[in-house]
Chains A and B, each alone.
Chain A
Amino acid sequence: MSVLLIAEISGAYIALSATAKALSAVAPLGPVTILAAGDGVDPAPLAALDGVAKVLHVEGADYGHQMPESFSELILSIAPNFTHIVAPATAAAKAILPRVAALLDVMVITDVTKLESADTFERPIYAGNATQSVTSTDPIKVLTIRTAGFDDAPAAAAAPIEGVDPTTGSDLSNWVEDRVVKTDRPELTSAGVVVSGGRGVGSEENFAIIGALADTLNAAVGASRAAVDSGYAPNDMQVGQTGKVVAPDLYIACGVSGAIQHLAGMKDSKVIVAINCDAEAPIFQVADYGLVTDLFEAVPALTEQLK
């Protein structure tokens, strides 16, 4: 058994927690080689994770932009040495790994939440309303790991770092620009506390009260699809079946009704608090603690008390 883990890297930035969580998920399978492909990336933090046998480091602008055509070509060039090709289930990996799997003529298995064995995996289907256990009959397993349920792999003695040549690259697609929102708040999928707002928040301006509570708790800000569609919050804050999946210690849902698509993204949180003026809102069915009240009174009051 030999595992190739694709580190989540955008430009020079390594999403270390996402990569470390995927690593702890797959480490029981055997020695893990990490592919660190980026643009100006320092792979040393990856080499210092427990369970890493080796880091392969490669540089290229297309890799930094996570362009699927060039990136899958790169993975293909080293794939024959591995039985498992895995990555944390990020937006980039979701674009790249199915492409890799098709080129290897194997079926990709996305959003794996549990590895039962080297060939048997659990994943949620139907927006998390069912869990399926599947056994792959393919010679190479290509997986994306839903990291929310795994702990970060701890630090260890540094593994060797080896340079790899980039492959030719592809001109099928070109990067134009990133429109990325800079934030000082913790990253949504790995934050210990998430405060999220729904349609009930009412406007982009009102979202400030969600942000204020989040800042008090050093939390990330999330949003329901309704809030994102209404323009109250940017798309990268969306929690749910098609957005981000989070499992923080504390999830505070403010003015979120709790459509099944939203619940799919947060129902594995350890403690869920719901604040909503509608006592019938489905969010209360998954909440540990509920406040049936006006969020515009309760949220600032909560912020004040927790300061």
Chain B
Amino acid sequence: MKVLVPVKRVIDYNVKVKVKADQSSVDLANVKMSMNPFDEIAVEEALRLKEKCIATEVIAISIGVKKSEDVLRQALAMGADRAILIEAANDVHMDIEPLSVAKLLAKVVQAEEPGLILAGKQAIDNDMNATGQMLAALLGWGQATSASMLEITNGSAQVTREVDGGLQVVNVKLPAIVTCDLRLNEPRYASLPNIMKAKRKPLQAMTPSDYGVDVAPRLVINTTVEPPARAAGEILGSVDALVSKLKEVGVV
């Protein structure tokens, strides 16, 4: 079966974010961008399924600005077979909403007919945690979010999910969508020869209008501001001093 892996180009997780002066968004001009870390885990999991001869082809797809080609090349360098880029924005500050992304992905699924979609559980920019679930709904497929273990057997996926009280194990009929949590695997690094090879792997460029999907946002962004900073605290010299401070402010 084919495995489809949506990947998003986001601000690198080590970069300290700054808000733009006009409060329209976080400033993404001239900052380091990378593949969303959860999507890297999804790519890795897809590649492991291919190595176990469960997946026949791994297709990476990204929706966003043209530069999203970078994260697709990274997925290809890790070992994905081919890539699809849907250029849906020309300004990096325009975030395509999960509902629109899900609609585009649903169209791609109709054309490609994958048996499994592996996605990151959330993007670390908008932290929405929604695209996988929305796509599952639009396709009428089963879903398993926040996976920390995945096993494919007899037309279904057995997924261990990270939930509030611990773990939940569910069995989802294929085709299905599984979203990946931090502890599913540790993504591989791409080797230099594979980075070179990735440049020659097929990458199909598309636009939302090719799929007849309207990506107009449903949410109007009013302001983006930095949260109030905490006032600097004090370093105390001893446990005794700490205990008397805590008693003074009445928290113990």
Contact = CB atoms under 8 A, between A and B. Distances in A.
Interface in B209-252: 217-227, 230, 232-236, 238-240, 242-243, 245-246, 249, 251-252
Given A178-B163, A179-B168, A302-B242, 6 more contacts: A65-B168, A91-B164, A124-B227, A179-B160, A285-B230, A288-B233
B148 interface: yes
B140 to A, nearest CB: 8
A167 to B, nearest CB: 15
Interface of B: 11, 13, 16-17, 19, 26, 97-99, 102, 121-122, 124-131, 133-138, 140-146, 148, 158, 160-173, 176, 181-183, 217-227, 230, 232-236, 238-240, 242-243, 245-246, 249, 251-252
A117 to B, nearest CB: 11
Interface string A116-137: 0000100011111111111111
A87 interface: no
A135 B173 CA distance: 37
Contacts of B136: 68, 99
Contact of B144 (A126, A173, A225, A289): A173
Give the interface SS of chain B, mostly helix, strand, loop or mixed.
mixed
Query: Which of B97, B166, B219, B227 counts the most chain A CB atoms within 10 A?
Result: B219
B219 A72 contact: no
A95 B251 contact: no
Given A110-B129, A130-B19, A102 B134 contact: yes
Contacts of A131: 224-227
A179 B233 contact: no
Interface residues of A, number: 89
A126 B127 contact: yes
Query: Which of A109, A132, A228 counts the most chain B CB atoms within 10 A?
Result: A132
B234 to A, nearest CB: 6
Given A98-B130, A172-B176, A306-B252, A136 B166 contact: no
A97 B137 CA distance: 10
A129 B226 contact: yes
Given A69-B143, A125-B224, A131-B225, A289 B245 contact: yes
B26 A130 contact: yes
A126 B78 CA distance: 26
Interface string A214-253: 0001000000010011000011100001101000011000
Contact of B234 (A103, A229, A242, A289): A289
Contact of B223 (A65, A100, A133, A235): A133
Contact of B218 (A107, A180, A286): A107
A171 interface: yes
Interface stretch (A20-28, A157-165, A268-276): A268-276
